[in-house]
Structure 1
């Protein structure tokens, strides 16, 4: 249990970086951020695959197909939606919506996977979920007030906020599906190494990223709204910063983050590990405040305390075997 908790914490610390990357590279379109991140992930996975080649050869064709599905939806589509939401609506609105993931995943997996993992009793689970939900609301209280004022004033950002909200909801859907399906494979293959499974997902992202770059280079991406007018391909106006940031999040957020999450998913019930994605929200907040050079407000500090209390309370719940 505690080993799984530490791995989930590590995944959250790594994944929190992806929330600040679109802000650091605000002049880069989401499609290029996605292609760069997962090209780096795939290149990092190549030498790791050589070290694990025997284990990778043991994966069946159905396993590689599952890795492709997980990477396409949980990596490419999720990050494309998240980066687009952050660049259109700023960090506040996507954080509000993405922050509901611990509750959404916990409820979904408790309904779906209770026969395999045991059911977390709803009467015991509800207080933990309520604390997490209250913490998310408190963390985003000030940002929600600002957002409401802007929308009531009828600013030109209304359309952008609407698009950001839709993209953030799509990101939630992608990342509700991903951890549940990923846990299915890991729990069904207890003999497999979570490290090898993370490397396999990295390998299949490489051709996807190369295809994404090829489409951006070969199609009229500017006419389709995928690239701003006059954008310099393939590396944009700040190639050194772009390459450095993509390499960093490719290593830390993609490979190490996926590895830590796989380790946690193999050790913990899916309904519980889903709640631990709250560490991603906490890490993203910490990085954002560090980037802004300010301390959190009272509402934010109180919300963080509620989030931590909800996670601690959830960890004390013991799954009950299903009667089915």
Structure 2
């Protein structure tokens, strides 16, 4: 593996992990303000990139409603629930629950209709979920005892909402791009980014 790929992977993990820390440093701000600030930053970068892909984007006008839906749910709704989860429980709890995303995405992404979930994913997914619970039981119970249970419960609730939003977005976005192979994923990401609330 080239060194650039390793460095980019580390950088991606850094940016993924920092989303759980930022709400701790911005405690004086409302969680929606934090989410909108994050999305505004993404939107400004996307707006700068928009100039390079503007011609390719014009043909995607019929998909702008979907892009707006993805932007609202993913960039505002998702991060607001992450920030609320961190505020009411802790960054480690939210990161732990978001770590279940590969399982939830695999299960939702491999459904054939509503009734049939791939058995090859269901059992390993449940075992991983149970393993995460066993490994982190002491941490979870310690944090539960050191916080107000009502607040901690709200934190877990918001983290699970964030997990649901992330899972839905990944599967819906993948399905959309699969059904529209003529759309360049870079152009699509730029369009979702410029859909400012």
TM score, norm. by length of structure 2: 0.82
Deviations 1:266-298 (A, max 9, x none): xxxxxxxxxxxxxxxxxxxxxxxxxxxxxxxxx
* CA 1:88–1:120: 2 relative to 1, 3 Å: closer
Q: Could you tell me the TM-score, scaled by structure 1's length?
A: 0.52
User: C-alpha separation between the residues in 1 aligned to 2:170 and 2:183?
Assistant: 17
Aligned residues: 190
For 1:188-213, what per-residue CA distance to the aligned partner results, in whole angstroms no more than 9, with x for missing partners? 122321111111011003xx1xxxxx
- The 1:138/1:55 distance shift into structure 2, 3 A limit, reads farther
When residues 142 and 90 of structure 1 are mapped into structure 2, their CA distance, relative to the original with a 3 A threshold, is same
Q: How does 1:98-177 map to 2 (within 5 A)?
A: 98-112=98-112, 122-123=119-120, 125-126=121-122, 128-130=124-126, 132-137=128-133, 140-150=136-146, 157-177=148-168
Query: Residues 114-144 of structure 1, C-alpha deviation per residue, up to 9 Å, x if partnerless?
Result: xxxxx99624x35642563255335533321
Q: Which runs of 5+ in 2 are unaligned?
A: 1-5
Preserved contact between residue 23 and residue 87 of structure 1 (Cα < 8 Å): yes
Using a 3 Å threshold, how does the CA distance of structure 1 residues 127 and 165 change in structure 2: closer, same or farther? closer
Q: Structure 1, unaligned stretches of length 5 or more?
A: 1-5, 114-118, 209-324
Give the structure with higher Rg (CA).
1
Residue number in structure 1 paired with 2:36: 35
Shift of 1:84: 0.7
Q: Which has the higher contact order (CA 8 A, sep 6+)?
A: 1
State the alpha-carbon separation in 2 of the partners of residues 174 and 121 from structure 1: 21
The DSSP-based 3-state class of the residue aligned with 2:60 is coil
Distance 1:10 1:131 in 2: 30
Corresponding residue for 2:75? 75
For the structure 1 residues 181 and 126, does the alpha-carbon distance in structure 2 shift closer, same or farther, using more than 3 Å as the test? closer
Task: Note closer, same or farther for the CA distance 1:126–1:184 as it changes in structure 2 (3 Å cut).
Answer: closer
Contact preservation (8 Å) 1:96, 1:137:
no
Cα RMSD, aligned residues only: 2.9
